[in-house]
Structure 1
Amino acid sequence: MKKQLLTPLALLPLLVAAQAPNFTVTGKIGHLNAPAKVYFDYMDDGKSKSDSAFVKDGAFRFTGHTSPYSYVRMGLSHDGSGKQRAVYGGDVIYFYMGKEKVKIQSADSLIHATISGSKVNEEYNAYNRFIGGTIMELTKAVNIAFSSGTAAQQKDTAYFQTIDKQYRQNIANRATKQIEFAQQYPNSYFSVIALSEAGGMKGVSSVETLYNNLSEELRNTDPGKELAQRINAAHTIVEGATAPAFTQNNINGQPVTLNSYRGKYVLLEFWASWCSPCRAENPNLRKQYAQYKDKGFEVLGVSLDDDKQKWAQAIEADQLPWTHVSDLKGWNNEVGRLYGIRAVPASFLLNPEGKIIGINLRGETLNNKLATIWPQE
């Protein structure tokens, strides 16, 4: 009896130690003071974590627990106008870190800051030099190229098409270099990242062999597991296959199962409140839902949001009467990963037996498909 009581207590120090802080990020940005505020978002083994801190005489500090490789987004609101403006249109940087003491320093802004103390980020920078830069760097370069044109050129469709063609070629070249990186450095964590991104460009079948050649340790990282799910989805989530079963909570926290829709046609719709194309399609979905719901048609929305309030506001604003589910893990939504989702909107039309009979149907394509199921009398 005593042994049974003592064993759980003896484990408590180990459990606490497992989540003990293992990184520190300190910053010094000039002599800024409140209301200037820094917003800190990072991934810890597939789980999104967030923190924030006011700046005092330019200084700020974060500490916490992270996996050996963690992707970070840091935004600075100079005037206290909030996180959204800071990270989506303001002073923002992205970097990698590990279990390290990281220092960020600049005279005026995050975007001009130097990052030191992180071997993980140095490895990330070397990877980016090999592949030709980050997507954000390539996007910035194309915007500069477009802006360098005269007013007349910027109104010229041919001028835009020339710059756009070069941008797309640079993205394609980057994907090719990512595959080369994975071939040359199969023991690097960034080979997993490279194959994941290249697979999104060239199709996951193009990177499957290289992925299988990675070490078990790399394949068991969260990005490695996510890529494995996408590879599996490419083979199994196809027209004629049975859609994978899942359970996820609705907006009220109640579990909803896909199998509960058997006997009806259901559109499994992956979307998010921040996705403009998704929101643009919602009026058409409302129309089709109203037309066919009494004949056995349902829509099940799976949101890739990570903010419940924004998710709920979008449902209300767009007047979406069907059931919605989410685990509020953003791109790490478990159903999204199960179905290999890398972009939204994405959808799968299922028949009453749960088999996939259409993929990424929207607009008139969806309307025509539903009209073949229920011809107008």
Structure 2
Amino acid sequence: MRRIFISLAAAMLSLAASAQVKYNINGDTRNQIEGAKVYLTFLDQGSIPVDSTVVKNGKFNFKGETDMRKVAYITAAGAALKVIIENGTVEASLADATTGGAPLNARLAAFNARKRPCNLEMYRVMGEASKLNMPADSAKMKQLEAEYNKYSAEMYTMERDFIFSNLDNVLPAIELPSFWRNLSAAELDEIEAKASPELKANAEFVKVMSRRKVADKKKNEWVGKKFVDFRAQNLEGKSVALSDFAGKGKYVLVDFWASWCAPCRKSMPALKNVYDKYKDRGFDVVGISLDTSREAWQKAAKNLQLPWHHMSDLKGGPDSVASAIYHVNAIPYTMLLSPDGTVMATNLSADSLDKTLANVLK
């Protein structure tokens, strides 16, 4: 009986997902843009509005039907607000840049409310940092960098959790376009596998996954090629090159990571086990940090007790020379180099690395 009930429930959910969505959006502007034209645009239908209206007495309204829940923009007089098109009544305030009412919009509003204090603190830190006089205020700068990294890590956790807890709806399509490069290949695989049909059909989601596949293809093009050398600094500030460690007769894992990257830190214990198992048999590791703060990088390496070589130009992910060379847009990311410096494999988990080394270091 229980199996029958579950099957019926699944069928009902499937039918519900494919049913027409009837939406009703009540908008409020607090009389700030009286008489202004308001536009509703579905993100999966390009930049052409699907509807428009005029603000009267500080209010506006959109009603309609569509094939599934989706992300939309409401724009008017320079103001813009993302909303979720869903069954029920959506409360949309252009004055406060908030949504509410219908379930997904209420969930989006709660998420934005959780992020707001963290965002404000990050802006505060950046504002204070911009007023410092270097090098006289270097101690204060280090303090502010530590604060910024703390809030950045909190923001990362909130955004990641928001995406993974909403794979049954379209909400991840709001965060993924700007956040997907912070996710590992395994996490992106999991998102793609667990995404609901309506999320997979979302134009923003499709774009992200297409960009990810292009990026993965570029990274996989390195397999079978010799590594490209570059220079950076080690933890002590000394200039070192990747060639100081790679192509010297050992199997070398190049591990791209950062102190603020939660998945990176989570993967370290397993990687340390592999390192301890094979370090005396011709295996080595070079950690390439995508940090911007030397203090945060040094502290993380020390706290995590990472015993291998370390390099960083402290330019962060997008501007790092190493990430540009190897097309690294999501971490953790790894490359295994053969003793002569040829790239053998990319993006290996600790378990896959262990199995590979067991075969080549018999």
The normalised TM-score by structure 1 is 0.45
Tell which has more relative contact order, 1 or 2 (C-alpha 8 A, sep 6+). 2
TM-score scaled by structure 2? Answer: 0.47
